[in-house]
Structure 1
Amino acid sequence: MIRVYHSGYEKIREPDVHRGRKNADLGQGFYTTDKREFACRWAREKTGSDIYVNTYELELEGLNIKKFERNEEWFRYVFSNRRSMPDYLSEYDVIIGPIANDTIYDTLGIMTSGYLSDDEAMKLLCVGPCYHQITLKTLKAAEHLRFVSSEILSGDDIEANKKIMEVDEEQYLSEFTRVMEELN
């Protein structure tokens, strides 16, 4: 059993695995992380809405799980999902893998324009820290998830997370620039 976290604008006791975007990194599903601090940083402010961090326990026993590392197989799966292709790993209940670090630049979009090769795009997606997402893909996976608690982030927490994200983005841009210069 592992503890996982999901941030958003509401308390979610019973997640809907069919609600998420189909073109997200690991396809449609309910996205969580095993790092609470990352879930807190991932949340974005929305006028008139609180930011909730929901905590769950996920029983992995009995689930079909696919785990990715930052490699070509992961890159191909993310690329396929971002292009809204059919999910060729639909037999898995849970997919665990790194977040594709292209929140500032649409690396995969640049790749499809012909500006970047697959290898170059993969190098750019691997820039920065490696945060993992744990995506519940099936109803069976959702049944293995137990709601523990929910908390609303305070204004001080939100401000502290913004500062951490600013530093992360500065480091990301610096590293991204370095890798782009190496590619040219």
Structure 2
Amino acid sequence: MLEVKDGLILYHGSYCEVKEPDLAKCAKRKDFGRGFYLTTSKEQAENFLRTSIIKAIAIGKIEKGQNYGYISTFEVKFSGKLETHIFKNADVDWLHCVAAHRKKKMFIEVEQEMTKYDIIAGKIADDATNATLTAYLAGAFGTAGDKESDDFCIKRLLPNKLKNQYCFKTKAAIECLKFVESEKICLK
């Protein structure tokens, strides 16, 4: 069950150790918008390492040939009230949120609605599901937002046993993440 509470342990996979998340370094146009992404699944964080390393090499942040990354572990320690939104399922509302953040000018009202949240949590649209989402955004299943198109896309996504993700979108949310440790992971 997805929840955001004190003591929750979350993992972040990256080409580098991350002790202090910096929203300015976070990419735009991710599933829930710009933010620092974590998961309760250490396996999912480790799976993301390869993607992070490939992207970092492509933009010149690290040298070609780096075959290791880090899983940074954080504990949630709330200090004050934060606005959170949790998508309990990969449903139409979740799909429209992901679509709104991945593609400019699609579901603008959804993207605007989500700006009021400090933390958004829900299923992750990962590499295994990216082709389906890309096809949906391109209109391959019909017009995005039409019931038939939405239903078809969700039916194709659900068998993937989607893991979860937590997006910490504001400075106040980031301040609730307490670094615990990091582990260097060598890729095979």
Q: TM-score over 0.5 for the alignment?
A: yes
Q: Give the TM interval when normalised to the shorter protein.
A: 0.7 to 0.9
Rounded Cα–Cα distance in structure 2 between residues aligned with 1:66 and 1:60: 15
Rounded Cα–Cα distance in structure 2 between residues aligned with 1:146 and 1:121: 37
Query: In the alignment, which of 63, 68, 76 is matched to residue 58 of structure 1?
Result: 76
Aligned to 1:67: 86
Aligned to 2:145: none
For structure 1, the 5+ residue unaligned runs are 160-184
Matched positions, count: 156
Shift of 1:140: 0.4
Q: Check the 8 A contact 1:67/1:95 in 2, yes or no.
A: yes
Rounded Cα–Cα distance in structure 2 between residues aligned with 1:114 and 1:79: 12
| Residue 35 of structure 2 is aligned to residue 29 of structure 1 | yes
> In structure 1, what residue type is equivalent to 2:68?
D
> Which TM-score applies when normalising by structure 1?
0.75
Aligned to 2:101: 81
| Residue 20 of structure 2 is aligned to residue 14 of structure 1 | yes
Identity of aligned residues (%): 31
For structure 2, the 5+ residue unaligned runs are 1-5, 55-64, 142-148
> In structure 1, what residue type is equivalent to 2:77?
E
1:7-156 paired onto structure 2 within 5 Å: 7-44=13-50, 46=54, 47-60=65-78, 62-68=81-87, 69-85=89-105, 87-88=111-112, 89-101=114-126, 103=128, 105-116=130-141, 117-154=149-186
Q: Check the 8 A contact 1:20/1:29 in 2, yes or no.
A: yes
Rounded Cα–Cα distance in structure 2 between residues aligned with 1:104 and 1:111: 11
Residues 76 and 57 (structure 1), Cα distance of their counterparts in 2 relative to 1, 3 Å cut: same
Residues 153 and 109 (structure 1), Cα distance of their counterparts in 2 relative to 1, 3 Å cut: closer
Two-structure CA RMSD over aligned residues (Å): 2.1
> In structure 2, what residue type is equivalent to 1:64?
E
For each residue in 1:153-175, what CA deviation from the matched residue of structure 2 results, as whole angstroms up to 9, or x when unmatched?
A: 14xxx34xxxxxxxxxxxxxxxx
Q: Check the 8 A contact 1:66/1:96 in 2, yes or no.
A: yes
> Which TM-score applies when normalising by structure 2?
0.74
Rounded Cα–Cα distance in structure 2 between residues aligned with 1:101 and 1:150: 22
Instruction: Tell me the secondary structure at the aligned position of residue 130 of structure 1.
Output: coil
Aligned to 1:170: none
